[in-house]
Amino acid sequence: SHRREKWFFAGLALCGVLLAFGRWNPMYRVLRHIPILNLFRVPARYLCLTSLGLALLSAIGLEALERQAKSRPGPMGWALLGVIGVSLAAALAGVRSAPDVEGLVAAWRWLPMTFLVATGAVVLGAGRVGTNLCKMAACLVLLVDLYAFGAVLDGTYNATVPHQEAARKPQSLSWFAQDDGLYRLYTKEEIIPALSVMRESYYPNLALTYGLPSANVYLPLVPRSYAAFIDDLDA
């Protein structure tokens, strides 16, 4: 039944959040002894369970809203559609007018409220507008939310630089070329700086690009001995 499905997927989403707490979750240490689950080196990857649970809950909710939809919207339905439009327009204006990444991050202090208002209007308007309008409104809220979130990523993790800048060799490369002895570069990775600083600091695996021996390499699964070695360097 839909009731059982809702509770199951809600529990799945909550389980993913609790597991993502990592060492701050007392039960997380038990996972070390459970096959397959003990291979998840990054606790945040358990959020895939949360994403799956929330996505399926959204689908169940949309089906329920469709059953309440009317053929033609009334005055209240049009008013709620207007609230959705104004909320999304405000969100788009806030994102488009942000001068830089700091402005986008600052905008996210109030953007959740606009999306909450728009989502609430979709839920309240489900029984007052047609099925197609309900679907369209829900999709628009989702698209604008993703656009606003992606704008921050475009200026940080997904930021790009011109090809000439990316192909330029680090300034310190000529200095390392003068050292004929044995050495390995080590970069502390806990703080992620700007892209230009990452290149000059030879973040993994940038040192390999220029043939420099590196003590730290980015690996999807970290060997135990290597993790102990890196921990000793950071101690």
Instruction: Pinpoint the alpha helices (H) of the chain.
Output: 2-20, 47-68, 75-96, 101-107, 111-125, 131-154, 163-167, 173-177, 195-200, 206-209, 224-234
Q: Looking up tokens 């703080």, which residue turns up?
A: 191
Amino acid at 63: E
Q: Looking up tokens 């590196």, which residue turns up?
A: 214
Percent of the chain with pLDDT over 70: 91
pLDDT of residue 88: 96
**179-225 pLDDT per residue, tens:** 888 888 888 776 666 666 777 888 878 888 888 888 877 777 778 88
38/45 Cα distance (integer angstroms): 12
Q: Write down the pTM of the prediction.
A: 0.62
pLDDT of residue 51: 94
pLDDT of residue 20: 87
Percent of the chain with pLDDT over 90: 29
Query: Residue 232 has which token pair?
Result: 């000793």
178/71 Cα distance (integer angstroms): 77
Q: Tell me which residue of 140, 137, 145, 152 sits closest to 114, measured CA to CA.
A: 145
Which residues are CB-contacts of 25 (< 8 A; sequence separation ≥ 6)? 18, 19
Domain ranges of the chain: 1-67, 69-159, 163-234
